[in-house]
Structure 1
Amino acid sequence: MTICTRFLNQSRLWKWSVLTVAVVGFPWGVGTSQAGFIGGEGTDNPSRQLKALFAEYWDDELRAGPLEATFLGDHRYDDRLADLSDAAHEARVKRDRDHRHALEKIAPETLSADERIDREVLRFTLDDRIEGERFRDRLIPITQQDGIHLQFAQSVNFHPSATVGDLENYVRRLHAFPRVVDQTIALMRQGMAEKRMPPRITMAKVVPQLRDLAPKNPEESPLWGIVAKLKDWSEADRDHATVAVRQAIADKVSPAYAKLAAFVETDYLPACRESVGLWDSPEGDVHYAFRARSFTTTTLSPEQIHEVGLTEMARIREAMEAIRKKVGFTGDLKAFFQKLKDDPKLKNQSEAEILGRYRAIFEAIDAKLPDLFGHLPRTDYGIRPIEAYRAKAAAAGYYYPAPEDGSRPGYFYVNTSDPTSRTTYTMQALAYHEGVPGHHLQFSLAMEVPGRPAFRKFGYVPAFSEGWGLYSEGLPREVGLYTDPYAEFGQLEYSAWRAGRLVVDTGLHQKRWSRDQAIAYLEENTAVPRIEIVSEVDRYIAWPGQALAYKIGELKIREIRAQAERRLGTKFDIRAFHDRLLSLGSVPLSVLERFMEQNQQTEAEPQR
């Protein structure tokens, strides 16, 4: 349950990633006038220097990540894929250091309040990336959750198809894929040499993904999907494009996927480690402590985070007990969990039923949004099922933000695989987190702020964004939308799940828990179906630290709100509070806390 950053290279892009830049031009002024700013050609005005630096940084990011640029809606690089070579990586690291040095030269006291926030967020991002270089995360370039194999397959959903030039770019990108696969294999071989390897149990899930993406019949490839977008083309142009796409998939794409699958299965998988925790890797404990700080944007140690998780779990279980008694169930909480897992009345029966239920949930919350927010986004959103080739290893749902140009809405992608295993009573909480009022409002409102630098419009700091998503799961209760006690229990279950993540993630990567221990803990403390628990635990194994962001972020947002309510008393306005919170965009928790405290103090001052 998170936004679409699964399709981005998390080791490099998670701090700013997402998802849409204007298709034509850059309103923030990227161009030759900014080129060479780091080299000293910028203006003496600090504000203009900062804007030029932001523009140069962002342009560098998009040029280095062509797939990400396409996902974001910038189509200047639609004909290429990233260069994963050592030389390209070293150049990227040098740019990070140069940008950090240039940023330090701009004194914050010479900037406006908004500019100081922007400067601090970029500094945090660069410091985090520079510090993380020592751990060589790039040597594990693919997992069952993320990597070029999944990113590339998903690119068909975002690539334009309006012109012959669009399709020519698409075919060039298909032809470039074998080169990227060769570079990916080279990185993995270097990881083998340095003993920086992923756990075997999660890497094994990559092999069937790769096999599914290497069909002999091009029309069975997800990348064939571009052809369906050509229905309005002339017959001659459509036929020509179809032939080119078919040949590229058959000659380039499928063989490259098959080559990667064979390498993973034959060479890489046997060399992967049996252990599941990051502790069993070079500088493992130090690496995990860094990732905990990085993803939570706090100084909390893994041990402290583990204790927070245990405390939260105890609190949530008390609320669960109250619901159990409310519905008249006479057994204990563990027995109630089992009832929820087994009751066919609480299960979906088909993909159509799942999608229909979500539409009804969104219709109800849309009507209540004006009670919770004074300012709503212009951007629309829709619902889509997760593609079959990645559904088995995917979470229950993701959110994909809309592009700034408005060419498509944001998408709530929901996992409809094995529909009879998908519970009905958790659907409200998931919809509120991934869609409305969760990620859709947070990302859309951040994107729509006029004059905000692009890297901030599309920024994604997990502790804030996922903390807001988790906070949003319970928010509709305040406007009367949790009328079913089982749905209310579902929201508590999801909250317990996130508390459990604090316990399980630190357990796996710092306390040396086994995979079975992690699964057993979540089964003991939630009613989440085993199929989802196993998938989620494997996600935590493959992605150390990320799962810590949700509950830590939510607790900070609730703490900030409680402080505001105490300070303002009867003057507290929930709509104004939410508007202020979301106006900031995705930021580290320290920045959020300071910004909200300053605004609350101003609001609480007596009028003169």
Structure 2
Amino acid sequence: MKSFLLALACTTCVATAWPARADGDATARFHEIYTKEWAWRQAQLKGADDEDSHNKSLADHLPKVDAGIQAMRETYWADVLKQLDAVSPSQLQGDDPVNYAIYRNQIEVLLADERFHTWEMPFNSDTAFWTNLGFTARRTLRSEEDYRHYIRQLQDIPRYFDEQTANMRAGLARGFSVPRVTLTGRDQSIANVADAKGDDNLFYTPFRKMPSTIPADVQAQLRAQGRDAIRQSVIPAYAKLLDFIRNTYMKQARTTLAAEAMPDGKAFYQSQIRQFTTLDMTPDAIHALGLKEVARIRGEMDETIRDSGFNGSFPEFLHYLRTDPKFYPKTPDELLKDAAWIAKRVDGKIGNYIGRLPRDRFAIEPVSPDLAPFYTAGRGGPGVYLVNTYDLPSRPLYSLTALTLHESAPGHAFQMPLAAEHEGLPDFRRYTYISAYGEGWALYSERLGVEMDMYDTPYDRFGYLSYQMWRACRLVVDTGIHHKGWTREQAQAYMRDNTALSEHEIETEVDRYIAWPAQALSYYLGELAIVDARTKAEKALGARFDLRAFHDTVLSLGSVPLPVLPQEVDKFIAGGGKSPYAKQ
């Protein structure tokens, strides 16, 4: 679950038109546009509360997110889009036609979010601005400057929360809010901070173990300042937010579920579909595709049940998987160690399937207790694979291989660092994340596990198929909820009848789809695009098809809209199926 986070921090920045170049050089004009905008965007992003921010240095503030800043953002990006309209992609050379398509998609998404005022709903059942701050608290701080900047961020939380609260009030006033049914228990993560005093507070975490390079007397001073900031700024701000969420937001949030039930809902849902899938598919077309894929995968699941030797119906097999203790870890360490073993097995195989491997390594860690109750089963990214050890009876081992392939290598903890390390790409391709591509690759990584012989038993293979079914079901459930008027219970029943997910996972996931329209569509549509591209390349190249070179080509793109992928694979075919790194 990744996204653009583009909170802005500068009230004095204004959009300015760049003068047209007399020489008519389209390439130079395009480079000038994206270089200026990207630098501006990163300056405004500094301090953002996002777990995926690539900024390595810690800002001394949190971003501004008030309505005035949002209006400035809209004006700025509308101006950038006008500048792009004046550039003809047909006049661009080399990689720039692709760069143009990718960059324009980014600007269109940013502008759509501004125009639909998505900042008035700054959280969902999965992710929230107040929990994302916790990722900063868990960062490794390495210098005295980092600690001083961190303390200033803590002191800035009251202002930041006030701006977010004002935005949420505006959303409530026009019926643009998280659905009330998904809010139960989401206030606990706020209460955990508001109620934790002194050194027990989450935000004291960086002070518990400080670098030895910082003198002892300075450490003592920083700890004292940190405690003061927590007591005077953090706890009061969280307490104030808690009162608002419990006594205002949870009581006034909308009782409808569908995105299309909100103001300008049909257009909003279609814009979210385009943002997360990068496609212009209609909800009805996506729903029909989902039903078709669910039926296809069900046939493979039935075959796997027969291979397991189980004598019984499909529902009986699901009941068996959900209730037999042998399929579940007994301790958090067992779950973590099994995940580590799977990841290490991938290390021994991956070089046969992908040529260029990332330098960055990743750790395997448990999800923090303050996030775990409503967090997904796992989450990966640069440097880390988080495994949720909360409620072990809902963490089946038969799904762990698919989960690990998706979230660690060769999925998120592999693809994202590889993009960042690709110095030949513009930064707007290295450090942004397009859900359809990133989640599509991660889901394709689960499929690749079949070829890598990672699924040792019929139960492991069924777990993989259940995960494929889960993502195909999302096409049906998301469009069912937001377009066809499905109820929460109807969506849960559909997931329960077709996947081997535990009841806890089903409830958590359905609430996520309700509160985060269209994000769930990106996974399966992205995987299908990669599978289709591979099939085309295999057919065209025949005996010359090199799987490692194909994967290098896909991964070398950074993060791209799905329509770009077949164009790049066509170039791969025309070039004889060589790896983009073949000459290096």
**TM over 0.5, shorter chain:** yes
| 2:533 alignment counterpart | 560
AA at the equivalent of 1:111 = L
Distance change in 2, residues 1:538/1:342 (3 Å): same
1:148-181 per-residue CA deviation (whole Å, 9 max, x = no partner) reads 20121211233x5332222111111111100011
Which residue of the partner structure matches residue 341 of structure 1? 322
Letter aligned with residue 326 of structure 1 = D
Q: Distance in 2 between matches of 1:499 and 1:36?
A: 42
Matched with 1:230 is 210
User: Residues of 1 paired with 2:296 and 2:148: CA distance?
Assistant: 57
- Whether 1:53 and 2:33 are equivalent positions in the alignment is yes
Q: Kindly indicate whether the alpha-carbon contact (under 8 Å) linking 2:62 and 2:160 is maintained by their aligned counterparts in 1.
A: yes
Letter in 2 for 1:277: A
Counterpart selection for 2:349 from 349, 361, 368:
368
| SS of 2:397 mapped into structure 1 | coil
Matching residue of 2:575: 602
Kindly indicate whether the alpha-carbon contact (under 8 Å) linking 1:347 and 1:420 is maintained by their aligned counterparts in 2. Answer: yes
The offset of 1:489, in angstroms, is: 0.7
- Equivalent in the alignment of 1:200: 180
Counterpart code for 1:324? I
The answer for unaligned runs of 5 or more in structure 1 is 14-34, 402-409
Q: CA deviation at 1:394?
A: 0.7
Secondary structure of the 1:144 match is coil
Q: 1:230 aligns to what SS in structure 2?
A: coil
* Residue in 1 that maps onto 2:439: 466
Residue 420 of structure 1: which of 360, 377, 393 is its match? Answer: 393
Residue 200 of structure 1 deviates from its aligned partner by 0.6
Contact 2:381 2:416 in 1 (8 A): no
Output aligned runs, 1:583-602, within 5 Å. 583-602=556-575
Of residues 76, 80, 88, the one that matches 1:99 is 80
RMSD across aligned positions (CA): 2.1
Structure 1 CA distance for aligned equivalents of residues 152 and 533 of structure 2: 50
Q: Could you report, residue by residue, the CA deviation over 1:315-350 in whole angstroms, capped at 9, with x for unpaired residues? A: 111111111111111101111011000110100111
Match of residue 290 from structure 1: 271
Change (3 A) 1:43 1:212: farther
Confirm whether residue 514 of structure 1 aligns to residue 493 of structure 2. no
* Alpha-carbon distance in 1 for matches of 2:484, 2:319: 28
Q: Aligned equivalents of 1:446 and 1:97: distance in 2?
A: 28
Distance 2:73 2:442 in 1: 32
Alignment correspondent of 2:258: 277
Rate the CA distance shift 1:576–1:287 in 2: closer, same or farther, 3 A: same
* Mapped pair 1:118 → 2:91: no
Aligned-partner residue type, residue 524 of structure 1:
D
587 and 43 in structure 1: CA distance in 2 versus 1, 3 angstrom threshold: farther
Give distance in 1, aligned partners of 2:311 and 2:330. Answer: 28
Contact 1:519 1:534 in 2 (8 A): yes
> What letter is aligned with 1:173?
Q
- Of the structure 1 ranges 300-309 and 567-576, higher mean CA displacement relative to structure 2 is found in 567-576
- 1:567 to 1:143, Cα distance in 2 relative to 1, 3 A: same
Change beyond 3 A, Cα 1:284–1:145: same
* Amino acid paired to 2:177: M
Q: Which moved more, 1:59-68 or 1:340-349?
A: 59-68
Aligned partner of 1:323: which letter? T
Structure 1 residues 215 and 341, CA gap change in structure 2 (3 angstroms) = same
Instruction: Quote the residue 1:214 is aligned against.
Output: 194
> What is the identity, as a one-letter code, of the residue corresponding to 1:138?
W
- Residue in structure 2 matching 1:526, options 468, 491, 499: 499
TM-score normalised by the chain length of structure 2:
0.93
Give 1:114-513 correspondences, 5 Å limit.
114-158=95-139, 161-232=141-212, 233-401=214-382, 410-513=383-486
Corresponding residue number in structure 1 for 2:11: none
Cα displacement string for residues 468-492 of structure 1 (whole angstroms, at most 9, x for unaligned residues): 1111101021122222111111100
1:407 paired residue number: none
Structure 1 residues 224 and 144: CA distance shift in structure 2, 3 A: farther
Cα 1:77–1:226 shift into 2, 3 Å: closer
Unaligned runs of 5+ in 2: 8-13, 579-584
Tell whether the 8 Å contact from 1:63 to 1:69 is kept in structure 2 after alignment. Answer: no
**For 2:18, which of 20, 27, 39 is the aligned residue?**
39
Letter in 2 for 1:538: D
| Distance of aligned partners of 1:185 and 1:37 in 2 relative to their CA distance in 1, 3 Å threshold | closer
In 2, are the aligned partners of 1:442 and 1:582 still within 8 Å (CA)? Answer: yes
Between the aligned partners of 1:62 and 1:43, the Cα distance in structure 2 is 29
Contact 1:62 1:69 in 2 (8 A): no
Q: Is the CA contact (8 Å cut-off) linking 1:80 and 1:172 kept in structure 2? A: yes
Q: Distance in 2 between matches of 1:285 and 1:74?
A: 36
- Paired with 1:284 and 1:248, the residues of 2 have a C-alpha distance of 41
The one-letter amino acid of 1:120's match is A
CA distance in 2, matches of 1:455, 1:212: 36
Deviates more, 1:213-222 or 1:68-77: 68-77
Identity of aligned residues (%): 33
**Deviation of 1:417 (Å):** 0.8
The structure-2 alpha-carbon separation of the partners of 1:433 and 1:43, relative to structure 1 and needing over 3 Å to count, comes to farther
Deviation, structure 1 residue 223: 1.3
8 Å Cα contact 1:279/1:512 also seen in 2: no
Report if the CA contact (8 A) 2:74-2:115 is conserved: no
- 1:455-506 CA deviation, whole Å, 9 max, x = no partner? 1101211111111111110102112222211111110000000001001101
Distance 1:206 1:69 in 2: 18
Pairs within 5 Å for 1:12-27: 12=6
Report Cα offsets for 1:346-382 as digits up to 9, x if no partner: 0011111111001100111111011101221111111
State the shift of 1:203 in Å.
2.5
Shift of 1:36: 9.1
Offset of 1:38 from its aligned partner? 4.4
Q: How many Å separate the matches in 2 of 1:390 and 1:374?
A: 36
1:560-579 map, 5 Å: 560-579=533-552
Aligned residues between the structures = 569
Indicate the SS of the match to 1:206. coil
Distance 1:288 1:36 in 2: 28
Is 2:550–2:577's contact at 8 Å kept on the other side of the alignment?
no
1:42, distance to aligned residue in structure 2 (A): 7.6
Q: Tell me how far apart the structure 2 counterparts of residues 225 and 367 of structure 1 sit (CA, whole Å).
A: 36
Q: CA deviation at 1:197?
A: 2.1
> 1: distance between equivalents of 2:232 and 2:132?
20
Partner of 1:426, secondary structure, is helix
Residues in 1 aligned to 2:185 and 2:43: alpha-carbon distance in whole angstroms? 31
Contact 1:37 1:53 in 2 (8 A): no
CA distance in 1, matches of 2:19, 2:270: 37
Q: Which amino acid aligns with 1:466?
A: E
Q: Is the 8 A contact 1:51 1:453 kept in 2?
A: no
Residue 142 of structure 2 contacts residue 211 of structure 2 at CA under 8 Å; is this kept in 1?
no
Q: Do 1:327 and 1:485's aligned partners in 2 also have CA atoms closer than 8 Å?
A: yes
Secondary structure of residue in 1 paired with 2:62:
coil
